[in-house]
């Protein structure tokens, strides 16, 4: 079974210089191969894009012509040819216009990375051995025991921090069955509500979001000012030299600060979602989840911020792969009318048919006009989601 893992790296200054070279070599190889393919395609429109194996044959003469390519892990250069071929393949086979034509990579990109297929070895409790870099200090290697690394990626984030992402192979780790089932309703007022009545609070990062917006505003303002200065200076015919946006450090400081706060928000969100999804997978054998169209719901500007902050898609994705890891079952059902149907008698409450969306969202409790049972809106929806999912699998639910 394949898993993804991410560790923090703490390279020395010498290793940072080597990383800059390796990032640049991958970027250089991508650009020079892409330029050659573009030129050949321009000269001959019937030209077929070479496969990654055919491009691999070019690596030997390219290394002879550009000796600095030898400073990179050889497998990382092979990954570049694979990615370039896949990008062209996606472009030509794309019928939905989802993929565009491969573009050149810029050295000015805020995020830099390279991927290799060489074996990464654990050297000590907090050290790993990477090709061309040697022993690099890392956050922790305890999680790398009893696994085989298939592929690794070293990445420099816009915050200036380095990370090592690993694709590792583990043995199956199925959890003991608990005999429990649960339905989950995703909400705006709460992140998730289970059919057992457990509510997980919505994700809020007000202080961090306030600081992130502040530095985003500073970044936009400073970049706009710097761009005007550069254009005005370079337009002058009597200039002695050209200016570039990268020559100004003030806007780069704002870019780094906003990236720091945005990264904190993303990390805290992932941490909370990981804890919740792991808890659900450990406690239940069958999890039934509603399939919400968050893209359509984001069109309501009053709800867009809450929906995007709760990260429903990430929540669903985490549940899916963790159920696959630990031998549990995830069922996704249509959520239509689950909040308006009584989970006790199964009849729909037609009193809500003519309400607007805002009016309906303000109703948190209601009483069934048929069986007179009082419902918490979200818990009732979670129970209906559970019942709907169990019908698909022919599992009988015993009512309390």
| Domains of the chain by residue range | 2-169, 179-208+250-400, 209-249
66: its two tokens? 């550009």
Q: What is the pLDDT along the chain (400 residues), one digit of tens a residue?
A: 788 889 999 999 999 999 999 999 999 999 999 999 999 888 888 888 889 899 999 999 999 999 999 999 999 999 999 999 999 988 888 777 778 889 999 988 888 999 999 888 888 889 999 999 999 999 888 888 778 888 999 999 999 999 999 998 887 778 889 989 999 998 888 889 999 989 999 888 999 999 999 999 999 999 999 999 999 988 888 888 888 888 888 998 999 999 999 999 999 999 999 999 999 999 999 999 988 777 666 666 666 777 777 888 899 999 999 998 888 999 999 888 888 888 888 888 888 877 777 777 788 888 888 888 888 888 988 999 999 888 877 665 544 4
Burial of 278 (0-12, 13-18, 19+ CB in 10 A): middle
Whether the CB-CB separation of 132 and 71 falls below 8 Å is answered with yes
156: β partners: 112, 162
Task: Tell me how far apart the alpha carbons of residues 167 and 203 are, in angstroms, rounded to a whole number.
Answer: 29
User: DSSP characters for 143-161?
Assistant: GGTT-EEEEEEEEE-TTS-
Question: Is it true that domain 179-208+250-400 has CATH number 3.30.420?
Answer: yes
75: its two tokens? 């497998």
Residue tagged 């709907």 (tokens)? 388
Task: Tell me how far apart the alpha carbons of residues 247 and 59 are, in angstroms, rounded to a whole number.
Answer: 34
């Amino acid at each position: 079974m394949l898993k993804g893992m991410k560790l923090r790296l703490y390279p020395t200054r010498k290793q940072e210089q080597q990383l800059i070279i390796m990032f640049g070599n991958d970027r250089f190889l991508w650009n020079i191969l892409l330029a050659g393919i573009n030129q050949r395609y321009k000269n001959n429109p019937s030209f077929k894009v070479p496969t990654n194996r055919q491009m691999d044959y070019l690596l030997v003469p390219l290394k002879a012509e550009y000796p600095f390519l030898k400073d990179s892990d050889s497998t990382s250069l092979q990954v570049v040819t694979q990615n370039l071929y896949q990008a062209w393949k996606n472009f030509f086979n794309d019928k939905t216009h989802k993929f565009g034509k491969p573009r050149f990579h810029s050295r000015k990109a805020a995020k830099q990375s390279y991927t290799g297929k060489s074996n990464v070895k654990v050297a000590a409790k907090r050290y790993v051995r990477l090709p061309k870099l040697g022993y690099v200090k890392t956050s922790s290697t305890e999680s790398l025991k009893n696994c085989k690394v298939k592929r690794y990626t070293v990445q420099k984030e816009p915050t200036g921090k380095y990370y090592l992402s690993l694709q590792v192979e583990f043995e199956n780790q199925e959890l003991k069955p608990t005999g429990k089932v649960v339905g989950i309703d995703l909400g705006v007022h709460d992140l998730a509500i289970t059919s057992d009545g457990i509510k997980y609070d919505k994700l809020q990062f007000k202080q961090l979001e306030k600081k992130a917006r502040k530095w985003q505003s500073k970044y936009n303002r400073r970049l706009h000012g710097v761009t005007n200065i550069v254009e005005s200076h370079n337009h002058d015919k009597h200039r002695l030299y050209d200016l570039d946006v990268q020559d100004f450090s003030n806007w780069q400081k704002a870019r780094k600060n906003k990236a720091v706060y945005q990264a904190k928000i993303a990390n805290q969100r992932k941490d909370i979602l990981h804890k919740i999804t792991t808890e659900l997978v450990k406690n239940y054998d069958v999890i039934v989840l509603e399939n919400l169209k968050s893209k359509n719901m984001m069109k309501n500007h009053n709800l867009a911020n809450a929906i995007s902050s709760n990260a429903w898609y990430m929540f669903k994705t985490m549940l899916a792969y963790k159920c696959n890891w630990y031998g549990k079952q995830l069922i996704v059902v249509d959520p239509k009318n689950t909040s308006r149907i009584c989970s006790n008698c199964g009849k729909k409450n037609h009193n809500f048919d003519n309400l607007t969306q805002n009016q309906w969202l303000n109703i948190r409790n209601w009483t069934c006009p048929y069986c007179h049972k009082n419902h918490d809106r979200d818990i009732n929806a979670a129970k209906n989601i559970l019942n709907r999912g169990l019908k698909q699998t022919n599992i009988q639910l015993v009512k309390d």
